[in-house]
Structure 1
Amino acid sequence: MEKKWQKAFSLEERPTLEDMKEFAEATYFKKILDYLTEEYQPKLSVEYSKEKGSFGGWHLKTKKYGGNIGTIYLCDGYVRMMVVVSELFEEELSENIFSMSEEVQKTFKESKPVMGGYWFVVDVISEKTLEDLKYLVTLRVRKLKKT
């Protein structure tokens, strides 16, 4: 398997979850999956995006409560997850943002809600960013459960 995830599988050859685990073995991919599975038992869906850049290619969507909890992207040497947090939680985020990683703080401070939410793309490269991601996921799931 090639080092570059986006080139490892063509549009015609869908990777399996096992392929993803193998590629991302040295990242936080397994910890993210373990957390999501233990807490939410989401439906996992390997999907393809024709988008250019780091959001193109095969990725893993995690779905529950009639919506997308988040999308996991495999990158070279790390994993990232996109989570949309409803603007309904803006006040709670404001109260907790200073204890979070610089990356998450920057996203919150520099962006305005789009389509009703803050779009966080978290590069999970440390235990700290993993904990930040878990918190954002809990907010996302709270919104999904309400609708």
Structure 2
Amino acid sequence: MIKKPGKMARLFSYQLLKGVRMINGFDLDDPKVIPSLETIANYTASPLWTVLCDTLTARFKPLVGIEFSRCAIPGYHGWNVKFKKAGRNLCTLYPRKGGFTALVVIGKKERAQAELILPGLTKYLQDLYHATPQSMDQRWLTIDVTSPAVLEDVLMLIQIRRSAKQ
């Protein structure tokens, strides 16, 4: 099912599964009711969410998908928003009450460039990068976006991800 989203982005197909966080009477863990991007933005109540979504949309013109995840890890179960470009996942955003987490995967192709800019990123991101184990030539960075500086770090990592040759 493809829908026109308005000004935030283009949507790709939805994935319906199962899951109880309530947003103004809406259950974010209900796989039968797909939340809108606006509903998710209101749930996060974070201006950084809107800035990140709008910046990604303007800069990369990605496909944006709202998907349901059955992940057993607390905080990652329920609806999430994926940004894809050229068949690659740029990032996945996991909403939570009052904020959100961005998942950015740094793979073998991005590692050298990511490590080159690492000293210029926030201490939080540097510590997170070094604390995240590398598995199968990838680091799955789950970044709590809590400040404009961390948001800029996320955008820099996504730019590297987008620029990496496939």
Aligned counterpart for 1:132 among listed residues 153, 158, 163: 153
Q: Distance in 1 between matches of 2:29 and 2:88?
A: 26
Note closer, same or farther for the CA distance 1:59–1:127 as it changes in structure 2 (3 Å cut).
same
SS in 2 for 1:133: helix
Unaligned runs of 5+ in 1: none
**Match in the other structure for 2:62:** 42
**What's the TM-score, normalizing by structure 2?**
0.77
The CA deviation at 1:92 is 2.8
Gaps of 5+ in 2: 1-20
The alpha carbon displacement at 1:42 in A equals: 0.7
Q: Percent identity?
A: 23
Say how many residue pairs are matched: 144
From the two aligned structures, give the one with the greater helix fraction: 1
Q: Over residues 67-102 of structure 1, what are the superposed CA-to-partner deviations in whole Å (9 max), with x where a residue is unaligned?
A: 111100101211111011222333333332222223
RMSD (Å) for aligned C-alpha atoms: 2.2
Q: Larger deviation: 93-102 or 60-69?
A: 93-102
Give TM-score, length-normalised by structure 1. Answer: 0.86
Q: How does 1:13-24 map to 2 (within 5 A)?
A: 13-24=33-44
Kindly report structure 1 stretches of 4+ aligned residues shifted beyond 4 Å. none
Q: Please list, as runs of the form range in 1=range in 2, the aligned pairs for 1:1-12 lying within 5 A after superposition.
A: 2=22, 7-12=27-32
SS in structure 2 opposite 1:128? Answer: helix
Distance 2:101 2:46 in 1: 13
**Matching of residues 1-147 of structure 1 within 5 Å:** 2=22, 7-52=27-72, 53-143=74-164, 146-147=165-166
The 3-state SS of whatever aligns with 2:30 is coil
